[in-house]
Amino acid sequence: MKTKTVVILIAVTLAGSVIAQKTLVSFPVYTALEAHEHVGETATITGRVDGIHRSAKGNILLNMGGTYPNQAFTAFIPGKTAGQFSDYQKYDGKTVAVSGKITLDRGKPEIVVTWQSQVSMR
């Protein structure tokens, strides 16, 4: 009886491991300067944050690949998400990775950040 239980536990553990591995998503990685070539894709954009702006509406903008208005890419954190980023100034001058769908806003590529886990320092 004990052998059967151990075999079942091993099988369940292995099955869970396989399922967990299949749910991990790996996005292609591009630089801030390459982002414009990949609009519409879900990817990770990496680069140095060259400027940060917090709007009157509470939106946070992390500009990469240059300073506003000449940035190559922006990580846009809407005001409703900004509460997750109480220490957003820590990204200034740091290399970060931002994951999500690349869209265009006023001709510039951006990713709209809805979860803190989409942004990480490198």
25 within 8 A of 9, measured Cβ to Cβ: no
Place of tokens 């931002």: 98
Give the chain's mean pLDDT: 86
Beta bridge partners of 18: none
- Total-model pTM: 0.79
**Amino acid type, 10:** I
Digit-coded pLDDT (tens) for 3-61:
554 444 444 343 343 333 333 468 999 999 999 999 999 999 999 999 999 999 999 99
Instruction: Provide the pLDDT for residue 25.
Output: 66
Q: Are strands 42-54 and 29-31 parallel, antiparallel or unpaired?
A: parallel
Instruction: Provide the pLDDT for residue 17.
Output: 39
Write the CA distances from 69 to 37, 95, 102, integer angstroms.
Answer: 19, 19, 18
Question: Which domains, from first to last, does the chain contain?
Answer: 27-121 (2.40.50.140)
Neighbouring CB atoms inside 10 A of 108's CB total: 19
